């Protein structure tokens, strides 16, 4: 079926490929669809519900029928449109939704059962009984669901994500888009031109009409080459803009050329202005058996003839109600295809050299694959004509989907019998050309130039306007043609097997809303998303309900416009990219010391540092706690979230996000702070250090660093946009090391360029220091209850400083300590982590209500005052210690009255944290107990049902060690 000449293919480069296990050849520049047609293949797929044979219907991304699976094994890709798959050497594709083959499919029995499988049959049939549903219906339905199949194996495929910024994004590289991009670029705008095809030009590549004294395809190639050579233009072929989002942000999926190591890249493009030049989609006519292989859109027929040099049939019938009929017939005739009939539903004259049937319609298609058609003339006479190709044209639907992604609703235009985008549906976007109802080449070129000029002027740019080339400006004289009356099933949605009868039935059963009809019939679902049959379906529903088409309304178009691989959206998220490993600057030192690692947030931190002779973690942990209490310990705390907050209103902003006041904090001081969520529950605690008048450094817990950053950004952008403040996470920029213990000051003085004097650097102070000439920050804070500091240096110096501090600590009888010892130290002091800040606790629960200022507003203040959050019966923070024969405590256990039955309704609270304290010689724990602070001295029973442990405990103050705080302040 390959034509001897013509087309935009490279005849010198033949490509071998396989389809359904058989070998074929195509040419460079083919799509899989054009190559299949060139090899005479007509049935290439099966429909979803009835498994009816399906052929290639279109030549673009709107294709509902020719869905194939590419490749085999782990990397196979289902549901690829054959019309958009670039042919390449070694391509292996196969049909899907058919068994054992696409030619003979056992499930075609569904087509014989179609009278019982009409619209909504599943809602009426599979109602029960429940046992039959679970054992029979559901398994069968699940096996039948879906079209293609994934391999369920891990594939070695590469996907990427990228970001781009521009003055103008032009979506579509047809005549409108090329002209818009050229005009704006000549004015000096930074332009991105994105098109889903691998060859710019759009419909110009499919038509024989000339532009500017040369072929349309030649003009498009020249302009695309000119744009590619301009430094302020990026031409992105194979790139589908899939979604429109707030503030000029667009999602775009770029497919890479065959053979590239990278499969796809998902782009986030931010544009100051945009031009939508996405063209229009030709719609079919609903007539009996219009889904048979060999039925094709008239515009697609011209694409295969003129771009790919392929004749989709040997004998053709062309049917429609516009000048598209004669244009397609002329192209077929000139390509050597026999014209059996040219059927125009309009009462036209002329075309004496054509077998014209004026004022007639094609009533139905004959054959399993097209073998002929039945033509009904205006006088009612029927005529049978033999043919293997039916070219249909029911009009054009503007491709306006992207204008609806921000809740824009299209408007109806009677002159084009179609919906067009609403003005200003997307801020900063101009919809123009065929997607706005301009259906001639001349009108598209003029509209594109005007849109490019307007976009440039809105950006303050001006330049010489390109000359408008001469082009076809003749209107097609289209007459709306939706459904041909007559017997037989008339298909509206080819992919989902929805017929005119199904839509009418939905209306009869009171599914009169277009959204209800869509879901009841499955019209426009799956990969099609209504691009082919939506408006035809609306016309049928309108007729069935006695409404107009605009009165019937449209379904809601949502992103993505085209299917996207999840791997492209989540590029970089495979394997460790899904759960990244984050290592501290001291990671290599930690490993060299034999410390086992544990996950803390996204970080890997040392659990403990074993020494010779220590056989259990407890031995190492007890030693590390002891050296912090008696000598000095060193711990890498770089994983704490660190947020730099700056701006004239930084202090006021921190007052708003913290429950306590930060604006009164002097420069060089640190204050403990508490943050609430908007619902009044505690989000996180941390410290706030004032580095300068307008600069603060906020620290968060390791686990909540991301949450706090998100909360602060939300507060700045949404809750208090009036404040002039900026923030950035600097967690990775600073390596921070805690030095704790009685000899902490002496140890630090060995490394500081200017040693600290006695009495200097009081508790909760901060400031700049230097180590070996390297600027650093020093904070006098403690998470251990000991005299302690945290010193921060740029991350690249973190390993060296940690190594030196550990060596000097070991010389003093101390050393490094890990997370186990850190937990013991903080439990002894009653300090909190997310074991207590679990998302369900309030400041009142944690005995921190005094930190909630009554003099200012803050996030969560109103919600925190609700009666339920101040109920005295709420579990509140206490300490517990064992007083019975059993001395063990376990986290997560329940607390009961000593003699109460150990059932859930009798639970008085839960244990949040426990630790064995070598300092005190017994277990200590933190718990949340009903009326906790009023019950100090009471006895409760701890019950761990899972481990079978029961312990009598005394309720006490949560601060077990040095309650006066003399050591931390000394």
Residues 6+ apart with CB under 8 A from 849: 843
Judge whether 918 and 841 are in contact, CB under 8 Å.
no
Work out whether strand 582-583 and strand 875-882 pair parallel, antiparallel, or are unpaired: unpaired
pLDDT at 600 over 80: yes
Is pLDDT at 129 greater than 80 in this prediction? no
Q: Would you say 29 and 102 are in contact if contact means Cβ atoms under 8 Å apart?
A: no
Residue 114 burial (CB count, 10 A) = 15
Computed over every residue of the chain, the mean pLDDT equals: 94
CB 688 within 8 Å of CB 675: no
Q: What pLDDT is attached to residue 759?
A: 86
Task: Give pLDDT, residue 222.
Answer: 96
Q: Do the domains spanning 159-281+398-458 and 284-394 agree at the CATH topology level?
A: yes
**How many Å apart are CA 57 and CA 295, to the nearest integer?**
6
Name all contacts of 913-916 with Cβ < 8 Å and 24+ positions apart. 913/823, 913/827, 913/833, 913/835, 913/836, 914/827, 914/889, 914/890, 915/823, 915/824, 915/827, 915/828, 916/618, 916/622, 916/824
- Give how far the C-alpha of residue 698 lies from the chain's centroid of Cα atoms, to the nearest Å: 31
State the virtual CA torsion across 851, 852, 857, 858 in degrees, nearest 10.
80
**582-639+733-826: CATH number:** 3.30.1360.120
* Superfamily of structural domain 159-281+398-458: FAD/NAD(P)-binding domain (3.50.50.60)
pLDDT class of 365 with cuts at 50, 70, 90: very high
Dihedral sign from CA coordinates of 500, 503, 506, 510: negative
Name the CATH superfamily, with its identifier, for domain 642-730.
Answer: Aminomethyltransferase beta-barrel domains (3.30.70.1400)
Q: Where are the beta strands (DSSP E) in 387-523?
A: 389-393, 396-398, 411-413, 418-420, 429-431, 491-493, 498-499
pLDDT tens by residue, 282-291: 999 999 999 9
- 139-170 burial, b at 16+ Cβ within 10 Å, e below that, comes to eeeeeeeebbeeeeeebebebeeeebebbbbb
Locate the domains of the chain by residue range: 10-124, 159-281+398-458, 284-394, 582-639+733-826, 642-730, 867-969
Query: How confident is the model over 700-724, as pLDDT tens digits?
Result: 999 999 999 999 999 999 999 999 9
State yes or no: pLDDT of 124 exceeds 90. Answer: no
81 close to 54: Cβ distance less than 8 angstroms:
no
Instruction: Please spell the DSSP secondary structure of 520-569, one letter per residue.
Output: HHTTT-TTTTTTTTHHHHHHHHHHHHT--HHHH--PPP-S-SS---HHHH
Give the burial class of 888: count Cβ atoms within 10 A of its Cβ; 0-12 exposed, 13-18 middle, 19 or more buried.
middle
Distance CA 35, CA 86 (A): 10
pTM of structure = 0.79
Class of domain 284-394: alpha beta
What pLDDT is attached to residue 155? 81
Q: How many CB atoms lie within 10 A of CB 920?
A: 13
Please report which helix (H) or strand (E) contains residue 26, including its range.
Answer: strand 22-28
Which CATH code for domain 10-124? 3.10.20.440
3-state secondary structure of 832: coil
Q: Is residue 489 over pLDDT 90?
A: yes
Q: Which CATH class is domain 867-969?
A: mainly beta
What CA–CA distance (Å, rounded) separates 291 from 286?
9
Integer Cα distance of 898 and 876 in angstroms:
19
- Each residue's pLDDT tens digit, 829-864: 999 999 999 999 999 999 999 999 999 999 999 999
Dist CA 293 CA 57 (whole Å):
8
Q: How far apart are CA 438 and CA 280, in angstroms?
A: 9
Q: Which residues of 777-816 are buried (b: 16+ CB within 10 A; e: fewer)?
A: bbbbbbbbbbbbbbbbbebebbbbbbbbbbebbeebebbb
State the Cα–Cα distance between residues 874 and 174, nearest whole angstrom.
66
Among 56-60, 127-131, 253-257, 684-688, the minimum mean pLDDT is found in 127-131
**What order do you get walking across the sheet with 582-583 strand by strand?**
582-583, 603-606, 597-600
């Amino acid at each position: 079926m390959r034509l001897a000449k013509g087309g935009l293919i490279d005849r010198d480069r033949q490509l071998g490929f396989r389809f359904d296990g058989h070998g074929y050849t195509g040419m460079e520049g083919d799509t899989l669809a054009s190559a299949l047609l060139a090899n005479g293949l007509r049935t290439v797929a099966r429909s979803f519900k009835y498994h009816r044979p399906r052929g290639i219907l279109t030549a673009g991304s709107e294709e509902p029928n020719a869905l194939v699976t590419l490749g085999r094994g782990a990397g196979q890709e289902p549901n690829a449109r054959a019309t958009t798959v670039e042919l390449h050497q070694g391509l292996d594709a196969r049909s899907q939704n058919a068994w054992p083959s696409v030619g003979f499919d056992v499930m075609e029995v569904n087509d014989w059962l179609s009278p019982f499988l009409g619209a909504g049959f599943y809602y009426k049939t599979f109602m029960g009984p429940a046992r039959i549903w679970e054992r029979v219906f559901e398994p069968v339905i699940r096996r039948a669901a879906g079209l293609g199949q994934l391999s369920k194996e891990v594939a070695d495929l590469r996907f990427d994500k990228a970001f781009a910024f521009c003055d103008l994004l032009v979506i579509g590289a047809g005549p409108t888009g090329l002209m818009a991009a050229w005009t704006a670029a000549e004015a000096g705008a930074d332009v991105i031109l994105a098109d889903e095809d691998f060859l710019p030009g759009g419909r110009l590549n499919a038509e024989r009409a000339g532009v500017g004294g040369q072929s349309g395809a030649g003009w498009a190639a020249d302009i695309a080459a000119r744009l590619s050579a301009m430094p302020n233009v990026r031409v992105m072929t194979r790139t589908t803009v899939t979604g429109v989002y707030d503030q000029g942000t667009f999602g775009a999926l770029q497919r890479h050329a065959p053979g590239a190591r990278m499969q796809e890249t998902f782009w986030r493009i931010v544009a100051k202005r945009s031009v939508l030049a996405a063209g229009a989609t030709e719609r079919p006519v609903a007539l009996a058996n219009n889904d048979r292989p060999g039925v094709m859109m008239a515009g697609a027929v011209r694409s295969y003839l003129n771009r790919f040099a392929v004749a989709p049939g040997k004998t053709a019938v062309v049917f429609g109600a516009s000048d598209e009929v004669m244009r397609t017939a002329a192209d077929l005739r000139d390509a050597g295809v026999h014209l059996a009939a040219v059927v125009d539903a309009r009462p036209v004259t002329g075309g004496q050299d054509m077998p014209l049937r004026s004022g007639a319609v094609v009533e139905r298609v004959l054959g399993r694959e097209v073998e002929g058609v039945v033509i009904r003339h205006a006088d009612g006479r029927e005529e049978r004509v033999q043919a293997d190709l039916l070219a249909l044209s029911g009009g054009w639907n503007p491709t306006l989907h992207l204008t609806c992604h921000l809740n824009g609703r299209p408007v109806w235009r009677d002159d084009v019998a179609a919906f067009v985008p609403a003005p200003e549906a997307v801020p900063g976007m101009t919809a123009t050309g065929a997607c706005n109802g301009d259906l001639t080449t001349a009108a598209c070129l003029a509209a594109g130039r005007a849109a490019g000029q307007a976009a440039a002027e809105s950006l303050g740019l001006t330049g010489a306007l390109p000359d408008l080339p001469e082009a076809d400006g003749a209107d097609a004289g289209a007459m709306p043609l939706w459904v041909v009356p007559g017997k037989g099933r008339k298909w509206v949605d080819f992919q989902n097997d929805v017929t005119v009868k199904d839509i009418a039935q939905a209306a009869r059963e009171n599914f009169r809303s277009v959204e209800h009809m869509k879901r009841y019939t499955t019209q426009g679902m799956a990969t099609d998303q209504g691009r082919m049959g939506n408006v035809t379906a609306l016309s049928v529903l309108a007729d069935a309900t006695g409404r107009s088409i605009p009165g019937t309304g449209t379904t809601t178009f949502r992103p993505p416009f085209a299917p996207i691989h999840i791997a492209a959206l989540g590029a970089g998220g495979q394997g460790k990219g899904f759960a990244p490993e984050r290592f501290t600057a001291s990671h290599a030192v930690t490993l060299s010391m034999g410390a086992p690692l544990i996950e803390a947030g996204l970080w890997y931190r040392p659990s403990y540092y074993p020494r010779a002779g220590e056989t259990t973690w407890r031995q190492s942990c007890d030693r590390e706690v002891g050296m912090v209490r008696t000598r000095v310990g060193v711990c890498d705390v770089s994983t704490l979230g660190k947020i730099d907050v700056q701006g004239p209103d930084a202090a006021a902003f921190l007052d708003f996000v913290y429950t306590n006041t930060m604006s009164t904090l002097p420069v060089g001081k640190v204050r403990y702070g508490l943050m609430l969520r908007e619902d009044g529950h505690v989000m996180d605690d941390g410290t706030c250090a004032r580095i300068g008048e307008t600069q603060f450094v906020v620290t968060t817990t390791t686990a909540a660093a991301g949450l706090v950053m998100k909360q602060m950004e939300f507060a700045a952008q949404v809750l208090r946009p009036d404040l002039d403040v900026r923030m950035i996470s600097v967690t990775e920029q600073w390596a921070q090391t805690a030095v704790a213990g009685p000899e902490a000051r002496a140890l630090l003085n060995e490394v500081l360029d200017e040693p600290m004097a006695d009495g200097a650097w009081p508790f909760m102070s901060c400031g700049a220091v230097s180590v070996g000439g390297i600027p650093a920050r020093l904070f006098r804070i403690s998470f251990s209850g000991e005299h302690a500091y945290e010193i921060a240096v740029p991350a690249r110096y973190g390993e060296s400083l940690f190594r030196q501090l550990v060596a000097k600590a070991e010389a003093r009888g101390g050393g490094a300590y890990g997370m186990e010892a850190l937990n013991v130290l903080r439990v002894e002091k009653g300090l909190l982590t997310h074991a207590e800040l679990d998302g369900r606790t309030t400041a009142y629960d944690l005995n921190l209500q005094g930190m909630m200022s009554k003099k200012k507003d803050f996030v969560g203040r109103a919600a925190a005052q609700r009666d339920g959050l101040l109920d005295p019966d709420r579990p509140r923070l206490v300490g517990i210690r064992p007083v019975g024969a059993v001395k063990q405590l376990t986290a997560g256990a329940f607390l009961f009255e000593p003699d109460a039955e150990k059932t859930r309704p009798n639970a008085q609270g839960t244990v949040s944290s426990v630790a064995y304290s070598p300092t005190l010689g017994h277990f200590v724990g933190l718990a949340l107990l009903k009326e906790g602070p009023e019950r100090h001295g009471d006895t409760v029973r701890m019950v761990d049902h899972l481990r079978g442990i029961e312990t009598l405990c005394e309720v006490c103050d949560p601060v077990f060690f040095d309650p006066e705080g003399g050591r931390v302040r000394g």
